[in-house]
Amino acid sequence: MPLDLKSRGTAISHHPTDALMMEYAAGTLPEGFALVVATHISMCDECRARLHAFEAVGGALLDSAPTCEMGEGALARVMAGLDARPARSPAPVAPQSRPQPRPPARPRGLLPEPLAGYVGGGIGSVRWKPLGLGVRTAVIPTGGSATARLLYIPAGESVPDHGHRGRELTLVLQGAFADAEGRFGPGDIECAGTEVEHTPVAEPGQDCICLAATDALLRFRALIPRLAQPLFRI
């Protein structure tokens, strides 16, 4: 699978919406969606600045929130409750509430952090499953209501025509694809909802690799993709 990273310098034209960035900044996105957004932010200077702005707004709102008076004896009751609890081994440290974007000082390969950490290495560590016509997929383990996966679409091939029962985020890592919504190259993210029905087609010249996340099964028109849905969780 040849990997040409020269396209990394291409300008990013499609970014997460303000609503999506606000959800990410607040830590309310399902992990699969948060992974897509964090990976995009790792590739996009503009969205790193937007994230800082949203986080600053959130901090200002917390600072301006009204305080609440504690009832008399509340602190004493809390301390007494802690003293009464039986001793036990320390709980393991919980993971961060959202994947964190980590912009590298220089490109280190096709998969930026935090995606490389989820995969466990570079693109060679991915265990692909064939979907037909050269298209391949690999599910990335995440928690919550959204499923994340890598998609490999050979140059000139397409993903079957489909609609959506929920939300789908697709981030291009290599190559490009086009559909009725426009052209999406490296770093671009497509946000598709229930109103979108499309047939993404990889551009000629370079195979297209994407990171995608969905929170519901897709609506395929053709019979064979519908039969494959339970197997591939698409």
pLDDT beneath 70, residues of the chain? 1-10, 58-75, 78, 81-97, 101-108, 161-164, 194, 196, 217-234
> Which amino acid is residue 176, in one-letter code?
A
Q: Which two tokens stand for residue 23?
A: 């959800």
Looking at the chain, the whole-number percentage of residues with pLDDT higher than 90 is: 45
Which residue is listed with tokens 């929130």?
A: 65
User: By C-alpha distance, which of 117, 153, 146 is closest to 132?
Assistant: 153
Q: Where are the domains of the chain?
A: 11-63+108-232
Secondary structure class of 206 (helix, strand, coil): coil
- C-alpha torsion 50→177→198→127, nearest 10: -90
**Residue 34 parent element (H or E):** helix 31-43
- pLDDT, tens only, 88-134: 433 333 344 578 765 544 445 789 989 999 999 899 989 999 877 78
Q: How far is CA 106 from the centre of its chain?
A: 22
The domain made up of 11-63+108-232 has a fold known as: Jelly Rolls (2.60.120)
Diameter of the chain measured on Cα atoms: 72
What rounded mean pLDDT belongs to the chain? Answer: 78
pLDDT of residue 19: 94
pLDDT of residue 37: 97
Secondary structure class of 60 (helix, strand, coil): helix
